[in-house]
Amino acid sequence: MTATQKMIAALLPGADSWQFWLRLSVLFAAVDQAVKHLITVLMPLGTSHPVTSFFNVVHVRNRGAAFSFLADADGWQRYAFIALGICVSAGLAWILRRGVASRAEALAYALIIGGAMGNVIDRIVRGSVVDYLDFHWLGWHWPAFNIADIYLTTTALLLIMTAIGISAESPGKHTPLPDNRC
């Protein structure tokens, strides 16, 4: 075991267990929901608070997907995105249960599950996703987003890294997690 692997094992006890990664995904979803709850309680819908010259905290809702894709549809998209989020999360949980190639890959799947379920909870409870991070420059605003969206974006980078063989445990090598089938 390399020094990096020992450090990761010390920081993340049980990180070779699929249950650890599912618990972590629940934590990710809980953090996302806690922040969204604070936004909905502390800020009326449609308000904006400048934080810096390029960043505002806002309270907006998105009935669609990324970049408000399908936001203006007739309402069917809510149920389609709920079903999609649940199916993707269940599929990734199954993959984690079967075993993955590295902790980076397991973390990526945990982030996807946490982010997807955070947004699914919003769609079920609120009918739309709460977005609150608004970056802008010279009057141009990036579409508002939330922590769940950061999880999903970070995941893309992690999966690309694992696909090309970059691993947090051992650069250039895949470190398989133990097979956890019962």
Domain assignment of residue 3, yes or no? no
Domain assignment of residue 173, yes or no? no
Q: Please tell me the predicted confidence (pLDDT) of residue 160.
A: 84
Query: Count of domains in the chain?
Result: 1
Helix (H) or strand (E) holding 59: strand 55-62
Domain with 64, as residue range(s), is: 15-163
Domain assignment of residue 64, yes or no? yes
Strand-strand pairing, 129-137 and 55-62: antiparallel
Residue-level pLDDT, tens digit, the chain, 182 residues: 666 556 656 656 566 788 999 999 999 999 999 999 999 999 999 999 999 999 999 999 987 666 665 656 677 778 888 999 999 999 999 999 998 888 888 999 999 999 999 999 999 999 999 999 999 999 898 889 999 999 988 888 878 877 887 655 544 444 455 555 44
Q: Please tell me the predicted confidence (pLDDT) of residue 174.
A: 45
Domain assignment of residue 9, yes or no? no
Domain assignment of residue 168, yes or no? no
What is the DSSP code string of 102-163? -HHHHHHHHHHHHHHHHHHHHHHHHSSEEEEEEEEETTEEPPPB-HHHHHHHHHHHHHHHHH
Catalytic residue among 32, 122, 131, 134: 131
Domain assignment of residue 45, yes or no? yes
**16 labelled catalytic:** no
Q: Please tell me the predicted confidence (pLDDT) of residue 170.
A: 47
Of 133, 130, 149, 148, nearest to 29 (Cα)?
148
Domain assignment of residue 61, yes or no? yes
Domain assignment of residue 177, yes or no? no
Q: Please tell me the predicted confidence (pLDDT) of residue 40.
A: 96
Catalytic residue among 32, 122, 134, 149: 149
DSSP 180: -
Q: What is residue 145's three-state secondary structure?
A: strand
**131 labelled catalytic:** yes
